[in-house]
Structure 1
């Protein structure tokens, strides 16, 4: 569970098995649809059941990344982009928003009486790797990878 600040991910090219990229409205409904699509694509591409540990992790991570994009990274009237990538050993979720100047803070424990601010802690707990990439002056992408196989297999 590590966080990587990357600005150039071309140093280690990704070997894609499947890829899907869609735009969603910057609303709670858009975030909900993004979460549902992320799990649906995982189960379609891998034949893993909906109640598998990877599917649950993908649902949680996709929900948090999409929610953060609409809450902290969107401008009025702007959509966010969801990219789903099936790699040989993991499923990568990328959410791109329109606020490159608002990078996600390091995931830090929140006081027990706080009711918000735990999203990145959940991403850190359920994703094997996550990070942020700013590729241009208009967008940033927060990504997370969920491992599909047990470490020993």
Structure 2
């Protein structure tokens, strides 16, 4: 439940999967489905377990932010999944490095407003999250969801 702007490499991992997806709602939906599928395959936990639901929610928010705030026409986003010793790490890389995520609002948005809760949800469901610039053309936002060991 901490946010960090880290430039160091992610921790050692035992499994990794990465892919490019279209910067569309369909691409974001596919990212969520793939993350849950991979999480359950690697951990043996059920799709309806609390950790799998947290992975679904966090992935959906990161992917949604990538296609909403980090999109350039004709450019995809990248989803990277890593199984760490104590967590499942979700990384989403987009093409707008100048649009860095800030601290989530301390109060949720008004119930009448359909946006403004994404990072608040990530903050609530992830053990840690943060972002870093990979190069002059991309940034990566990542979150780690705890997993039973």
TM range (shorter): over 0.9
- Alignment partners' CA distance in 2, 1:80 and 1:35: 13
Q: Is 1:5 matched with 2:5?
A: yes
Give the alignment of 1:28-67 within 5 angstroms.
Answer: 28-67=25-64
Once the two structures are TM-superposed, the CA of residue 112 in structure 1 deviates from its matched residue by: 4.0
- The yes-or-no answer on 1:25 pairing with 2:22 is yes
SS in 1 for 2:18: strand
Unpaired segments ≥5 residues, structure 2: none
> 1:136 and 2:135 equivalent?
yes
- The answer for the alignment partner of 2:118 in structure 1 is 119
SS at match of 1:70: helix
Within 5 A, what are the aligned runs for 1:103-118? 103-108=100-105, 109=107, 110-118=109-117
1:88 aligns with 2:85: yes
Aligned partners of 2:89, 2:118: CA distance in 1, in Å?
Answer: 17
Structure-1 separation of matches of 2:47 and 2:122: 19
TM-score (norm: length of structure 2): 0.95
Give CA deviations for 1:7-52 in whole Å, capped at 9, x if unaligned.
x213xx6111100000000000000000000000000011000111
Pair 1:75-2:62 in alignment: no
Task: Name the TM-score, length of structure 1 as normaliser.
Answer: 0.92
Instruction: Count residues in correspondence.
Output: 147
Once the two structures are TM-superposed, the CA of residue 114 in structure 1 deviates from its matched residue by 2.4
Q: 1:147: which partner in 2?
A: 146
Stretches of 4+ moved more than 6 A in 1?
A: none
